[in-house]
Amino acid sequence: LSVSFFDQFMSTTYMGIPLIALALVFPSILYPTPTTRWLNNRLITLQSTFINRFTHQLLLPLNVGGHKWATMLASLMIFLISLNMLGLLPYTFTPTAQLSLNLGFAVPLWMATVIIGMRNQPNHALGHLLPEGTPNLLIPMLIIIETISLFIRPLALGVRLTANLTAGHLLIQLISTAAFVLLPLMPTVAIITSVVLVLLTLLEVAVAMIQAYVFVLLLTLYLQENI
User: Would you state the pLDDT for residue 206?
Assistant: 93
Whether residue 1 lies inside any domain: the answer is no
Whether residue 110 lies inside any domain: the answer is yes
The answer to whether 54 and 74 are in contact (CB under 8 A) is: yes
Beta bridge partners of 18: 13
Beta bridge partners of 17: 14
User: Would you state the pLDDT for residue 41?
Assistant: 78
| CA dihedral over 134, 139, 145, 148, signed as positive or negative | positive
User: Would you state the pLDDT for residue 154?
Assistant: 92
Whether residue 121 lies inside any domain: the answer is yes
Whether residue 60 lies inside any domain: the answer is yes
The answer to whether 157 and 215 are in contact (CB under 8 A) is: yes
Whether residue 112 lies inside any domain: the answer is yes
Spans in the chain with pLDDT lower than 70: 1-11, 131-133
User: Would you state the pLDDT for residue 111?
Assistant: 92
The residue segments making up the domain with residue 86 are 7-226
CA distances from 8 to 80, 135, 163, 200, 210 (A): 19, 52, 14, 18, 22
pTM of the model: 0.81
User: What tens digit of pLDDT does each residue of 87-139 get?
Assistant: 888 777 788 888 888 999 999 999 998 898 888 887 777 777 776 667 777 77
Whether residue 47 lies inside any domain: the answer is yes
Beta bridge partners of 14: 17
The helices-and-strands tally (H runs, E runs) of the chain is: 8, 2
What domain count does the chain have? 1
**Strands (E) located in the chain:** 13-14, 17-18
Whether residue 2 lies inside any domain: the answer is no
User: Would you state the pLDDT for residue 2?
Assistant: 44
User: Would you state the pLDDT for residue 5?
Assistant: 65
Whether residue 205 lies inside any domain: the answer is yes
Q: Please give the Cα distance from 29 to 110 (Å, whole number).
A: 28
